[in-house]
């Protein structure tokens, strides 16, 4: 039996066919066109799934489940998308609307959770009893997997690790709190720190990598550090210290077998991880026990599709 | 079938017989005498269990499991106590040593986790799909229960919620980090804040409740607040704000059905909870979903015994 995973994004709907070995064997996508009514977006998701089935010469009976990962808050029990930022879903029961198009069982989950599940089944956390995936992008996303199950709370809204305050009364966060981990460890946070350093240091080599403040991105500080610029080193040191603080919190709370880093900033890979480890090793609780590994995530965008396909497991 | 729970404390070893309805039907205790070799303490635990069986006219075959909750880090898979503060256990395999005294299967876990499990089976979280128990004592202890299972990580050291940094580079914590939740929300943290306010305000009514700084305890500030003292109100407001910050983090991470407050400071009960709720309601993630309840724990010291008795379930 195969399953279908759908990753509902703000820009594209990506769907894939996942076989029994948890391999993504076919994939296609259509634009989300997120300003349309929810019903039309759901229709397109269903048609995308059905066309994948047809094009791969399968019958609906050979597909055991369709899983959908979407941004925002999802009730995995009812199949309801309770709220999505940037998309028109408001207490929309996707599972029910899908029934108009197919009788294949439909499962829904949060997209960051689905990506973590995908890595746990088929990626960098395969074979681990527990894993936490942290996505360092525009925000800081989190997905917690224990024994191949998503930890999403009794209401489906859990795993919002980025909205853990690490600096009481610190930088404002989009969620309304102050001092959330996301406000420091997202690419957005890193860009803010980089710009502040550039304004303070007109002599810095950072200006070579980003001739105007508008050109600063999540790589600028790391590029400057590799070029030997002292201001860039200060920025990266500051960023790494906040990131390590949050990661150590996650270790003390979950002691997962592995933490995976994904998203834009995690493209720095082992270079970033090597900068993080000294503080984490110094601060983590339980010095006498086996250590949580920290590794880059492996599957990129496919993690969300594969994990969505596993939501019904 | 009944089970036996043992709560190994720094001062006393308490053991109890728990019936199929998860009720504590008999209880007895002996002093721990924690300076002795681990083997002697384990022998006394075994003999305490065996005497409970005898005195209740049971045979060993009628007892399906013995569970032991102890402070520190425990490997639930092997039955090994890896490290306990104030007790001489260092990679001590309690399960193995117990076999010299009885063939009843032995299960080990952390004491804060066991207390949370006890409340989940038979106390204030009974019937809940998930619960987090926070103990506000000398430290801030944590126990996380999902579907009646303890979340303790791949190495048994998880659930150390008190060692989540909420104030980066803040007050020093016993664990070696700075700014841990425990440094602010423990009774110890509250006492520190109370003393600082008294030194700053010689006119404060707090001096009536604690004529010397040595007499300050976790109730002093709350007593002062109820007497209308402005300095006491400032202390409680400050304490409540740190506690609410940590609790909101726990909600955003776990979205548990219920958070239980136990330990000395939680004796303030609903009065404390009513002070916490406005900030938590303002800051928690997922405004459109069902809300985590915050309640006082119910079972007191019995929670640890009942939960220990359930460790083998």
Band (B286; pLDDT cuts 50, 70, 90): confident
Superfamily grouping for domain A129-296: ATPase, nucleotide binding domain (3.30.420.40)
Task: Compute the distance between CA of residue A104 and CA of residue A106 in angstroms, rounded to an integer.
Answer: 6
Q: Which CATH architecture has domain B127-296?
A: 2-Layer Sandwich (3.30)
User: What is the tens place of the pLDDT at every residue in B62-86?
Assistant: 999 999 999 989 999 899 999 887 8
Q: At what angle do helices B230-254 and B269-283 cross, to 10 degrees?
A: 60
Residues from chain B contacting residue A256 (CB–CB below 8 Å): 153-154, 158
A288 has pLDDT over 90: no
B302/chain A closest Cα distance in angstroms = 25
Tell the residue number behind the tokens 């997202």, with chain if given.
A186
Count Cα neighbours of B62 within 13 Å in the Cβ-side half-sphere.
Answer: 13
Band (B288; pLDDT cuts 50, 70, 90): confident
Nearest CA-CA partner of A161 in A190, A118, A131:
A131
Per the CB < 8 Å rule, is B160 touching A286?
yes
CB-nearest partner of B242 from A75, A168, A257: A168
Per the CB < 8 Å rule, is B164 touching A253?
yes
Mean of the per-residue pLDDT values for chain A?
A: 96
Summarize the confidence of residues A47-72 as an average pLDDT.
Answer: 96
Give the Å distances, CA to CA, from B245 to A249, A296, B191: 14, 30, 19
Residues from chain B contacting residue A165 (CB–CB below 8 Å): 166, 245, 248-249
- B-facing residues of A in 78-137 (CB < 8 A) are 82-83, 91, 128-130
Exposure b/e, A272-303, CB count within 10 A at least 16 = b: bbebbeebbeebbbbeebeebebbebbbeebb
Question: Residues with Cβ < 8 Å from A268, sequence gap 6 or more?
Answer: A219, A222
Best residue of A177, A181, A292 to probe chain B, by most B CBs closer than 10 Å? A177
Q: Are B143 and B116 in contact (CB under 8 A)?
A: yes
Same fold: A2-120+302-309 with A129-296: yes
Q: Are A158 and B253 in contact (CB under 8 A)?
A: yes
Nearest CA-CA partner of B307 in B153, B51, B123, B31:
B123
CB-nearest partner of B154 from A160, A176, A257: A257
B118/chain A closest Cα distance in angstroms = 19
Angle at A42 between CA A36 and CA A48, to 5 degrees: 110
- Residue B287 is predicted with a pLDDT of 83
Band (B52; pLDDT cuts 50, 70, 90): very high
Task: Compute the distance between CA of residue A233 and CA of residue A221 in angstroms, rounded to an integer.
Answer: 7
A196 has pLDDT over 90: yes
Q: Chain A residue closest to B256 (CA)? A: A153
Nearest CA-CA partner of A63 in A5, A12, A142, A7:
A5
Summarize the confidence of residues A82-110 as an average pLDDT.
Answer: 94
- Indicate the SS3 state at residue B5: strand
A103 has pLDDT over 90: yes
Per the CB < 8 Å rule, is A290 touching B91?
no
Pairing of strands B130-136, B140-146: antiparallel
Q: At what angle do helices A269-283 and A230-254 cross, to 10 degrees?
A: 60
| Model pTM score | 0.95
CB-nearest partner of B165 from A159, A245, A256: A245
Task: Compute the distance between CA of residue B251 and CA of residue B279 in angstroms, rounded to an integer.
Answer: 13
B1 touches chain A (CB under 8 A): no
Q: Are B131 and B119 in contact (CB under 8 A)?
A: yes
User: What is the tens place of the pLDDT at every residue in A107-156?
Assistant: 999 999 999 999 999 999 999 999 999 999 999 999 999 999 999 999 99
- A-facing residues of B in 27-66 (CB < 8 A) are none
Mean of the per-residue pLDDT values for chain B?
A: 96
User: What is the tens place of the pLDDT at every residue in B217-275?
Assistant: 999 999 999 999 999 999 999 999 999 999 999 999 999 999 999 999 999 999 999 99
Nearest CA-CA partner of B227 in B201, B207, B197:
B207
A181 has pLDDT over 90: yes
Question: DSSP label at B292?
Answer: P
The full set of domain ranges for chain A reads 2-120+302-309, 129-296
Query: In chain A, pLDDT over 90 holds for what percent of residues?
Result: 94
Q: A2-120+302-309: what fold?
A: Nucleotidyltransferase; domain 5 (3.30.420)
A287 has pLDDT over 90: no
- Residue B86 is predicted with a pLDDT of 81
Give the Å distances, CA to CA, from B228 to A46, A248, B207: 63, 41, 13
A19 touches chain B (CB under 8 A): no
Estimate to the nearest angstrom the gap between the alpha carbon of B21 and the chain centroid. 23
Query: In chain B, pLDDT over 90 holds for what percent of residues?
Result: 94
């Amino acid at each position: 039996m195969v399953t279908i995973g759908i990753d509902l994004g703000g820009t594209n709907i990506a769907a894939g066919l996942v076989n029994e070995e948890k391999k993504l064997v076919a994939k296609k996508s259509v634009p989300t066109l997120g300003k349309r009514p929810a019903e039309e977006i759901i229709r397109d998701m269903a048609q995308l799934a059905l066309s994948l089935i047809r094009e791969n010469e399968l019958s609906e009976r050979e597909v055991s489940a369709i899983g959908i990962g979407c941004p925002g808050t999802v009730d995995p029990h009812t199949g309801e998308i309770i709220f999505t930022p940037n998309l028109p879903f408001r207490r929309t029961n996707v599972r029910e609307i899908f029934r108009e198009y197919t009788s294949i069982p439909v499962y829904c989950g949060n997209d960051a959770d689905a990506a973590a599940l995908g890595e746990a089944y088929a990626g960098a956390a395969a074979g681990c009893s527990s894993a936490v995936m942290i996505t360092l992008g525009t925000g800081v996303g989190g997905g917690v997997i224990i024994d191949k199950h998503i930890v999403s709370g009794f209401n489906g809204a859990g795993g919002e690790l980025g909205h853990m305050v690490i600096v009481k009364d610190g930088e404002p966060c989009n969620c309304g709190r102050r001092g959330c981990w996301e406000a420091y460890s997202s690419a957005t946070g890193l860009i803010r720190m980089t710009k502040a350093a550039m304004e303070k240091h007109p002599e810095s080599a950072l200006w070579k990598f980003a001739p105007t403040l508008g050109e600063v991105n999540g790589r600028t500080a790391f590029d400057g550090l590799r070029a030997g610029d002292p201001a860039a080193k200060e920025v990266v040191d500051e960023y790494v210290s906040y990131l390590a603080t949050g990661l150590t919190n996650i270790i003390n709370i979950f002691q997962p077998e592995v933490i995976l880093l994904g998203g834009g900033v995690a493209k720095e890979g082992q270079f970033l991880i090597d900068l993080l480890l000294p503080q984490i090793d110094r601060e983590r609780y339980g010095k006498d026990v086996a250590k949580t590994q920290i590794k880059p995530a492996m599957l990129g965008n496919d993690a969300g599709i594969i994990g969505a396909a596993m939501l019904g497991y």
